[in-house]
Structure 1
Amino acid sequence: MGVANRLDVTLRLVQGSDRVSVAELSHRLGVSEMTVRRDLDALERQGLVRRVHGGAVAVSPREEGGGFSAREPWQAVTKDRLGEAVAALVAPGWHVLLDAGTTTVHVAEHLAARGPLSVAVLSLQAAAQLADRPGIELLVVGGRSRPGERSLVGPLALRTIESLAFDCFVMSIGGVHADHGWSEFSLEDAAVKQAGLAQAGRTIAVADATKLGVRAFSQVAPLGVVDRFVTDAAAEDAATHPNGPQTLHALREAGVETILV
């Protein structure tokens, strides 16, 4: 796993817990405790975590300006490739629910050329990408904007999703695990994804290969609820992603079409 990818997953694991230990991060990421300490030091220098004895705690993005903006540049080329592949699976005329996340912003960029489409977004960044684009009917799902993430969550977002029907839900994900299924680091994000799954005729999940084998805090759903999963080809390389091949096998066994780009 590359350094930027590992930092991304480490940050999400810390943000998903009140406190996480070096030993737990080492076990989840499959790297040495010395590597974990170096990564936590790097994240602390960026103001994204606070080091405590034996581990780390998350820093409020409202205080330090972290979150989405800090992760956005990481693996941008890979995420753009994933975004293009996902957009190619969306048929003109569909009603699409587009999840929040750094990868789905790239999906939004490529969806702009797939119109006519009706796209409901759960991200203020995705809304900015799709606003005023010819052939795109944009619906911004109501809700509370999570500080630092600008994802739309909470009761208002859930009520809006539950009142609509979608041809497709494009779901980003924090973790995909052979036993734990699809999972997220935030309870609020997990609840929004569960609502999206229930209201869509099909679901395309998308995540870079670092999310394979990750068991995040809140389970969203079993593997088999998703129709297609788009990830980068590095997921098949056990040398860089030890949990990748096993997780891909579990997805295929669950009936999920996996697309590697």
Structure 2
Amino acid sequence: MKKTQSIVSKRRDKILEYLKTNETISTNELAERLQISPLTLRRDLQALDEEGLIIRYYGGAKLLNNADTDIDNKNIIEEKDINLKRNLKKNCIAKYAADLIQDGDTIFINSSSTALLILKYLDSKRVNVVTNNGKVLQSTIGPNIELVLTGGQVYERKQSLVGEFATYILSKITADKCFLGVSGIASDSGISTSVLQETLINHEMINRCSGPVYILSDSSKVGRHHNFSSGDINEITHLITDCDIEQKEIKNFEDKGINVTTIDYTKSID
């Protein structure tokens, strides 16, 4: 145990040394330099952040020096607050979605980070989870969850599984419920993604779902259309979003027959 603690301590000292000589550094670059996994690095950065030694922000980290008077640090802190708020919204949406799942359900989850968080809140439910989300292998999965990965070509940036093989596997499965995260959703153009290769996967999940199709999206993505269409608006049944959504957007979706649920993320998650 002492040896393990010593290794961790030395590794975190190296991180601090890098940040002393480099004003900022990306997490990908730092992981490569230290020859450790991104997951291990995230844990180290989280620990150093909690000790008040660094400031984490999206995609990187910076040494903490007089943050109250340093304008650059202040901007990073503000960005950190935005990310914390975004993560809170994601968790609240995912927790609500998990409550909709019953024992014995077979569900589809796509490459969305919000949809993946559903697993965190399933507790002891017996659920068959079918996903193309490679990050599921890094998630904590309950003992009663039967996990099926589609297989297929790995799209590295999102660690998602795509291609003909993944689509073929989905074509052999019928799900009770479908939970999709999106890059954008608009009442006049449907759902969209930033990754062309994922459009067929998302649409196949919709086609192979015998029950409700839930779109999980924070309000910043509502009313937006991203690069590539994944499904028409009439192919989805529910939108679960946060309470910052504009009322006119709610009406636009409800006029199209979409059931809209808004989550008050200001309340604590149980």
- Normalised-by-shorter TM-score class: 0.5 to 0.7
Post-superposition shift, 1:101? Answer: 1.7
Amino acid aligned to 1:255? G
RCO greater where, 1 or 2, for CA within 8 Å and sep 6 or more? 1
Aligned residues: 188
Amino acid aligned to 1:250? N
Post-superposition shift, 1:90? Answer: 1.2
Normalising by structure 2, we get a TM-score of 0.64
Secondary structure in structure 1 of the residue aligned to 2:139: helix
Q: Would the aligned equivalents of 1:115 and 1:135 in 2 still touch at CA under 8 Å?
A: yes
Equivalent of 2:193, from 171, 175, 184?
Answer: 184
Residue number in structure 1 paired with 2:180? 171
Q: Would the aligned equivalents of 1:124 and 1:151 in 2 still touch at CA under 8 Å?
A: yes
Q: Would the aligned equivalents of 1:130 and 1:138 in 2 still touch at CA under 8 Å?
A: no
Once residues 134 and 196 of structure 2 are traced to their aligned partners in structure 1, the CA distance between those partners, rounded to angstroms, is: 19
- Gapped runs of 5+ residues in structure 1? 1-44, 49-64, 237-244
Residue number in structure 1 paired with 2:253? 251
Post-superposition shift, 1:143? Answer: 1.3
Equivalent of 1:157, from 152, 159, 166?
Answer: 166
Equivalent of 2:244, from 226, 234, 254?
Answer: 234
User: What are the within-5 Å matches in structure 2 for residues 206-245 of structure 1?
Assistant: 206-236=216-246, 245=247
Q: Rg bigger for which structure? A: 2
Summarize the Cα distance change of 1:82–1:114 in structure 2 as closer, same or farther, 3 Å threshold. farther
Post-superposition shift, 1:211? Answer: 0.4
Post-superposition shift, 1:46? Answer: 5.7
Normalising by structure 1, we get a TM-score of 0.66
Give the CA RMSD over aligned residues.
2.4
Residue number in structure 2 paired with 1:145? 154
Q: Would the aligned equivalents of 1:118 and 1:136 in 2 still touch at CA under 8 Å?
A: yes
- Summarize deviations over 1:102-147 as a string: whole Å, max 9, x none: 2122112113x1511111122122243254x211111111112211
Secondary structure in structure 1 of the residue aligned to 2:245: helix
Equivalent of 1:122, from 132, 138, 142?
Answer: 132
- Gapped runs of 5+ residues in structure 2? 1-24, 29-37, 43-57, 60-79, 264-270
- Summarize deviations over 1:210-243 as a string: whole Å, max 9, x none: 101111111122212111110000113xxxxxxx
Once residues 47 and 93 of structure 1 are traced to their aligned partners in structure 2, the CA distance between those partners, rounded to angstroms, is: 39
Post-superposition shift, 1:86? Answer: 0.7
Once residues 189 and 26 of structure 2 are traced to their aligned partners in structure 1, the CA distance between those partners, rounded to angstroms, is: 31
**Do structure 1's residue 89 and structure 2's residue 91 form an aligned pair?**
no
Once residues 115 and 158 of structure 1 are traced to their aligned partners in structure 2, the CA distance between those partners, rounded to angstroms, is: 27
Post-superposition shift, 1:98? Answer: 0.9
Q: Would the aligned equivalents of 2:109 and 2:116 in 1 still touch at CA under 8 Å?
A: no
Summarize the Cα distance change of 1:200–1:76 in structure 2 as closer, same or farther, 3 Å threshold. same
**Identical residues among aligned pairs (%):** 17
**Do structure 1's residue 204 and structure 2's residue 214 form an aligned pair?**
yes
